[in-house]
Amino acid sequence: MKKKWILALDQGTTSSRAILFDTSGIARANVAEEFTQYFPQPGWVEHDPWDIWNTTKNCMQEVLKQAGIKPEEIAAIGITNQRETALVWDRRTGKPVYNAIVWQCRRTADACVRLREEGWNEILRRKTGLMADAYFTATKVAWILDNVPGARRRAEQGYLMMGTVDSWLMYNLTGGKVHATDFTNASRTQLFNIHTQEWDPTLLKLFRIPDTMLPKAQPSGSFFGMTDPEILGCEVPIHGVAGDQQAALFGQACFKAGNVKNTYGTGCFLLMNTGARAVQSRNGLLTTLAATVEGTPVQYALEGSVFTGGASIQWLRDQLGLISSASQSEELALSVPDTGGVYLVPAFTGLGTPWWDMFARGTLFGMTRGTSRAHLVRAALESIAFQSRDVLDVMIKDAGYPVTSLKVDGGASANAFLMQFQADIIQRPVERPAEVQTTALGAAYLAALSAGLFKDQNDIVENWTLERTFQPQMTREESQNRYEGWQHAVRQAIAYTKKD
């Protein structure tokens, strides 16, 4: 039986997804399932690890059923995942010792302030390309070890394992046989030296994390292991793993230095390929590892993080009840000519690049008696584009590469109003591909290359197809005026949250 399908597992912040791709990169079946978000305290965000695994397993089994594909026809599995989210489980039972602490969670902000005060920030930047911030995995794992009764003792005895979501999925997919991660996910833990591609003893000591807890780290496009035959009915090789943003960079065929993509998901993440050069940012960007295939040179990327992107639309729907679906936001935004001077700064879990304020909180400015539901919805969508420009501006300044266009993907990139406004605010064309699920596509491509289904990256470049280009329509002067209004609102929000 000819194996011609690639199964991509895309485990995100609010849902899990399984997509079947053919070798031309076309999605033939797609199944997604949302799961519960837990907010035990203000600024805290958690997931039930079993929700992560069970929704992934359900999607994987259902997508095969819907497509009428036999497991024996799958050539390889690729995995992409929400990054930085921390899990700790018992190697004897496979049971988590605590909920997954999500990348958005701010509970370790005070610990990160102490790290900065003690002078660790520059060391962290030099070794990991990251900064002392609650965003990353290390302080989350340390929190679990320090706050779950008996966890630190069990960890020191070698009984506990840690990992990001990819490690948790692989552990369960292989029936507990594989404890691994890839270089891109490892590079987001704040425990991994991105220059040597090894776990760093100094940082493990700093965060008091025993090395026995760590997964094996290897290239994104490489063989990780075989699935347990009970999961799908036969063994299937796992050949590709990458954190969601690096997977999207790969799926967008951004293989040359200076190529940039922006993924519009729960957050927004701009990545620029910087080739073999690990660019050290002076403007709040992160230096990270890009996804590469085993046997090819290591590549780096600059990354800017917007913590609240599409999540602000989810907030409008779930917390405020202003819309019934995410798709309704476009219709409402287009029903008014502008926001009427309203700016939403959606710092619900702090501000990312270039502000990096862990304590900032969401703020709404400029409302009048005439402010309507449509104005608020439009302000939320515009905030996504404004935050993305914040990142792109400093990225160009740091890297020195000219950016002539921006490739976009992710669920919210389907919103034509948002994409047009993005083009207007950055004053550059925005290119949307035919396949906007490029995180999953990137994982599929990594698996296909590792499994030998593709000859090289040129096959991926040839597969990339443009669906629509959004050209700037707003004048440069108007674009700049609106952006300056946004920056003023952000400064006001930061000043407000710092009041005694």
pLDDT of res. 203: 97
Q: What gap in Å lies between CA 242 and CA 221, rounded to an integer?
A: 8
Positive or negative: CA dihedral 325, 329, 335, 336: positive
Which pair of tokens denotes residue 136? 């990353």
C-alpha to C-alpha distance for 17 and 475, rounded to whole angstroms: 40
The residues with which 240 forms a beta bridge, in sequence order, are 78, 221
Beta bridge partners of 88: 162
CA dihedral 337, 363, 429, 317 (to 10 degrees): -70
Arithmetic mean of pLDDT, 333-340: 92
What is the pLDDT, as a whole number, of residue 82? Answer: 93
pLDDT (average), residues 173-178: 96
373-399 vs 311-318: helix crossing angle, rounded to 10: 160
Write down the residue that tokens 């292989």 correspond to: 174
pLDDT above 90 coverage of the chain, percent: 70
Tell me the one-letter amino acid at 402.
Answer: P
Contacts of 400 (CB under 8 A, 6+ apart): none
pLDDT reading at 498 higher than 80: no
Strand intervals (E) in 126-189: 160-163, 180-182
| Distances, alpha carbon 116 to alpha carbons 127, 235, 285, 327, in Å | 15, 47, 17, 41
What is the rounded distance in angstroms from the CA atom of residue 134 to the CA atom of residue 299?
A: 26
Q: What is the pLDDT of residue 500?
A: 45
User: What's the mean per-residue pLDDT of the chain?
Assistant: 92
Dist CA 203 CA 220 (whole Å): 23
How many Cα atoms within 13 Å fall on the side-chain side of residue 429? 9
Domain residue spans of the chain:
5-245
The residue with tokens 């089994």 is 61
List beta partners, residue 433: 466
Q: Which structure tokens are listed for 453?
A: 């289904």
**Percentage, residues of the chain above pLDDT 70:** 99
Given CA atoms 76, 231, 31, 409 in this order, what sign does their dihedral have? Answer: negative
Residues near 114 by Cβ (< 8 Å), separated by ≥ 6? Answer: none
Tens of pLDDT, residues 134-162? 989 999 999 999 999 999 999 999 999 99
Specify the pLDDT at position 3.
Answer: 65
The CA-based angle 239-242-246, given to 5 degrees, is: 135
pLDDT at 236: 95
The answer to whether 11 and 52 have CB atoms below 8 angstroms apart is: yes
Tokens 């709040």 belong to which residue? 284
Rg (CA), the chain: 22
Per-residue pLDDT, averaged over 439-459, amounts to 89
Q: What is the pLDDT of residues 279-300, one digit of tens each?
A: 888 888 999 999 999 989 999 9
Q: CATH code for 5-245?
A: 3.30.420.40
Secondary structure element (H or E) that encloses residue 489, with its range: helix 476-497
The 10s digit of each residue's pLDDT in 52-88 is 999 999 999 999 999 888 898 999 999 999 999 999 9
Output 327 or 421, whichever has higher pLDDT: 421
Indicate the pLDDT class of residue 2, thresholds 50, 70 and 90. Answer: low
Q: For residue 497, name the pLDDT band (cuts at 50, 70, 90).
A: low
* pLDDT bucket at 221, cuts 50 / 70 / 90: very high
Is the pLDDT at 375 greater than 80? The verdict is yes
Backbone angles phi, psi at 442, to 5 degrees: -65, -40
Query: Can you read off the two tokens belonging to residue 143?
Result: 């929190």
Could you tell me which of 131, 224, 148, 124 has the C-alpha nearest to residue 182? 224
Asked if residue 1 has pLDDT above 80, the reply is no
Question: Virtual CA dihedral for 448, 451, 457, 458, nearest 10 degrees?
Answer: -80
Nearest CA among 103, 127, 124, 105 for reference residue 114: 124
Alpha-carbon dihedral sign for residues 286, 289, 291, 292: positive
pLDDT score at 410: 85
Q: At 89, which helix (H) or strand (E)?
A: strand 87-90
> Is the bond into 354 cis (omega within 30 degrees of 0)?
yes
Q: What b-and-e string marks burial along 410-424, b requiring 16 or more CB atoms within 10 Å of the CB? A: bbbbbbebbbbbbbb
CA distances from 172 to 43, 72, 94, 225 (A): 29, 20, 8, 12
Q: Is pLDDT above 80 for 358? A: no
Q: Is 109:178 a contact under the CB 8 Å cutoff?
A: no
| Number of alpha carbons in the 13 Å side-chain half-sphere of residue 34 | 6
Q: How many C-beta atoms lie closer than 10 Å to residue 47's C-beta?
A: 23
Distances (CA, A) of 253 to 256, 339, 384, 408, 462: 8, 36, 24, 12, 9
Question: What is the model's pTM?
Answer: 0.86
Per-residue pLDDT at 76 = 95
Q: What is d(CA 278, CA 269) in angstroms, rounded to the nearest whole number? A: 18
In angstroms, the CA 21 to CA 32 distance is 15
